[in-house]
Amino acid sequence: MSKVIVIGAGPAGLMAAEVISSAGVVVQLFDAMPSIGRKFLLAGKGGLNLTHSEPADLFASRYGQRRAQIEALFKTFDASSVRTWAASLGIETFVGSSGRVFPTDMKAAPLLRAWLTRLRHPEKGSPVEFFMRHRWTGWHPSGEMSPESGPSATPLALEFETPKGPVQQHADAVVLALGGGSWARLGSTGAWVPLLQARGVAVAPLLPSNCGFDVKNGWSEHFSSRFAGLPLKSVAISVTTSSGMRFVRKGEFVATATGVEGSLIYAASSLLRDEIQSQGKASFDLDLLPDMSLERVINEVQHPRGSRSLSSHLKSRLHLDGIKAALLYELLTKDQMQDPLQLAQAIKALPITLTAVRPLDEAISTAGGVLFEGMTDGLMLENKPGLFCAGEMLDWEAPTGGYLLTACLASGACAGNGVLRYLNKYGSSPRLISV
């Protein structure tokens, strides 16, 4: 009987294991961490965002330059499949006001528990065996495979470091679902990059995605000590890159001790990051009052204020106070603050310059990874027959909002079916699984 090893107990690895084991194939799942799904559980701590309910075309557009590759994965498992799959685990979902989809209890742990129960005790197929504290360190020399070989020939031989010392494992096919390089303490260390590159696998450099940025020259001590950690709500940002790409969106973000982060910044992070890489800096215009026209802001600022201070005037006429008013004082000169026209223009388009991306380990997710161009449609490496990759270790990125998790699950399902097709080719007869 064929045996498949899956390395990585995140959503992509678990989904690949489910698809393969449901066909009756023996699956062993290895992970370096002591417990399963650590990043998944932490990501769901404030409410597990499973996917998004927006139309398929708009949903696919969120994957930018890798839209075509991710759309191909959705032929196996798409956003609607996420809700169907969750329901099959006894987890009901709902669509929030923003279109995001959540479990009714908002929690990740019940879903993960139900999933693991089904993997360990399936109604059909083979139970998945879990091996924790097994850190993959590479291949044993006997594990090389030629393009003509397959499960009936030399199996893949892998080496793992464990608390009891190094061990070797053999498999007829392997799925790597090792994550990117963010949140290393939860298991996504990026240590797999040199292992694959040494074997001729093309890997784009891992970069921060959905990340924060440092502002030029940093915030003043006055601003940082009083406003770091506070949100800027109901604002809009506009980004225009040196190459002419444009991003405009309303939402909210947070001031940090050194710069900015949060959902609105994350949504533009790929453009801002790439602009800093190519130009040394990036900037965006901040609209502090996106629901108010420039003409009205000018009129309100120019309204006679009598003996009131400027701060009181802005609060009274425009409801600008707190961190929004503080940003104006932080970034404008005294002369600009006293000039009604310049002040009004700044309220509607306050330029903020960014000079550095926050470190990869602080980012929510990762850009870069194994290039799709070196893979089959089933996510098998063309120069490593029997070796598949899935999840965030692939070269794609997406904003938060359920897009990350959906693509990870979809890639796991695609790789799982790719494994089954590969095993079929070499004489085994597992059936393909529809999820």
**Per the domain annotation, does 435 fall within a domain?**
no
Between β-strands 100-103 and 51-52, what pairing exists: parallel, antiparallel or unpaired? antiparallel
Burial degree of 200 (CB within 10 A; 0-12, 13-18, 19+): exposed
Domain annotation covers residue 432: no
Is 22 within the bounds of a domain?
yes
Last residue of a domain, which of 339, 357, 375? 357
Using CA atoms, how far apart are residues 32 and 356, in angstroms rounded to an integer? Answer: 32
Residue 74 in contact with residue 410, Cβ under 8 Å?
yes
> pLDDT value at position 146?
43
DSSP 127: P
Domain for residue 433, yes or no?
A: no
Pairing of strands 350-357, 203-209: unpaired
Contact 225, 217 (CB under 8 A): no
Do 110 and 257 have their domain in common? no
Selection from 196, 96, 111, 180 nearest residue 398 by Cα: 180
Domain span at residue 85 reads 3-207+365-425
Computed over every residue of the chain, the mean pLDDT equals 93
The answer, yes or no, to whether residue 151 has pLDDT greater than 60, is no
State which of 298, 329, 357 marks the end of a domain.
357
Does 176 map to a domain? yes
Q: Quick one: pLDDT at residue 46?
A: 81
Residue with tokens 């009274």: 316
Residues 222 and 328 in one domain: yes
Q: How many CB atoms lie within 10 A of CB 39?
A: 22
Task: Calculate the alpha carbon distances from 112 to 117, 119, 164 in Å.
Answer: 9, 10, 28
**Domain match, 337 and 381 both:** no
Residue 304 domain-assigned (yes or no): yes
Q: Where are the alpha helices (DSSP H) in 283-402?
A: 294-302, 310-318, 322-331, 334-338, 340-348
Give yes or no: residues 353 and 373 share one domain: no
Same structural domain, 201 and 320:
no
User: Are residues 285 and 198 located together in one domain of the fold?
Assistant: no
Q: 205 — phi, psi (to 5°)? A: -55, 140
**77 within a domain of the structure (yes/no):** yes
Residues 8 and 98 in one domain: yes
Query: Residues of the chain with pLDDT > 70: what percent?
Result: 94
Which pair of tokens denotes residue 227? 């406003």
How far apart are alpha carbons 108 and 43 in whole angstroms?
Answer: 8
Counting Cα atoms < 13 Å in the Cβ hemisphere of 283 gives: 8
- Measured CA to CA in angstroms, residue 395 lies from 202, 339, 368 at distances of 10, 48, 4
Clarify whether residues 94 and 25 are in a common domain: yes
The answer, yes or no, to whether residue 360 has pLDDT greater than 90, is: yes
Q: Say yes or no: 79 and 142 in one domain.
A: yes
Claim to verify: residue 119 and residue 221 sit in the same structural domain: no
Structure confidence at residue 45 (pLDDT)? 83
49: CATH: 3.50.50.60
Q: How high is the pLDDT of residue 327?
A: 97
pLDDT score of 224 more than 70:
yes
Domains: count for the chain? 2
Tell me how far apart the alpha carbons of residues 116 and 221 are, in angstroms, rounded to a whole number.
48
Whether 201 has a pLDDT exceeding 90, the answer reads yes
* DSSP 8-state symbol, 182: S
CA angle at residue 20 from 15 to 26, to 5 degrees? 120
What mean pLDDT do residues 33-44 have? 91
Give residue 107's pLDDT band: very low, low, confident or very high (50, 70, 90).
very high
Regarding whether 255 and 139 lie in a shared domain, the answer is no
150 domain residue, yes or no: yes
User: Which of 136-150, 261-275, 293-307, 387-401 has the weakest average pLDDT?
Assistant: 136-150
- The pTM assigned to this predicted structure is 0.90
Judge if 168 and 287 occupy the same domain. Answer: no
H helices of 319-372, where?
Answer: 322-331, 334-338, 340-348
Contacts of 322 (CB under 8 A, 6+ apart): 230
Choosing from 333, 357, 381, the residue where a domain stops is: 357
